[in-house]
Structure 1
Amino acid sequence: MKKKEVYVMNKEPSRSELNKNRLRPHFPKWSSYRVNALGAADQLITRHLEYHALGITSEQKQQAYQALFRTHLTPETLHEVRTALNSELVTGTDRFKTEIERALGRRLQPKPRGRPRKPSDINLPKERHDEQLSFVENL
């Protein structure tokens, strides 16, 4: 499998801080936001190729990165992401989910609800299934 990188942008601190104080977004010290959006120096942060593709100058890259955090998630998307995080599942396309499951060697999608169907129920023609039901009802 080809090596891929997965990026997660945590918007929760900025959303809660903006709602409470109407201030500029606040990010924890460990966040790369200060480096990527504000140009702060930090030897622990390595900028990704995607960051460098955001613009030519440092200012262009910083402005483009800041714009990523100005977008709003729909309530549906936010619910999907929160549900996935709380359940230790993955959100994204089915193909993406399958790739991540394969890479980690564990299930990251919800299991189908209910008991698995019996093989006899699946392969029976409708008439035979109805016969079985009427037989059971007559007992």
Structure 2
Amino acid sequence: MANIPIDQLAHEITSAVREYTEDVAVAIDKKVDQVANKVLKEAQALAPKRTGEYAKTFVKTKEGGYGEHRRIIWNKKHYRRVHLLEFGHAKVNGGRVPAYPHLRPAYEKHAANLPDEIKEIIRNGG
């Protein structure tokens, strides 16, 4: 341990906390990206494949400012169709079209452990 003059103690504590915060933020951002990539690949794999175009147009978008690590998985070209395929829908002349769940199961499979993984990152300091 280094000898620190008392007038520099506040500066040293502040710089140590800042370094810890930056390390944790980088590690959390990396983990959120990894999970988002897994969800994206799983959603593409589970998506209905009549022609294959629907599955190919899923993308990952990064949102949020400092301290916010948010990724959104969405279908760039067929965004209006996602909820119809995910949950099914009524036909014009009666009856229902079956549901093809693909986005929610991918999210539940990969993102369910994310809060625990983030807590572990915070405990380990990045």
Q: Which of the five TM-score ranges fits, normalised by the shorter chain?
A: under 0.3
Bigger relative contact order, structure 1 or 2 (CA pairs below 8 A, ≥6 apart): 2
Q: Say which structure is richer in strand.
A: 2
Work out which of the two has the higher radius of gyration on C-alpha atoms and give 1 or 2. 1
**TM-score, length of structure 1 as denominator length:** 0.24
**TM-score, length of structure 2 as denominator length:** 0.26
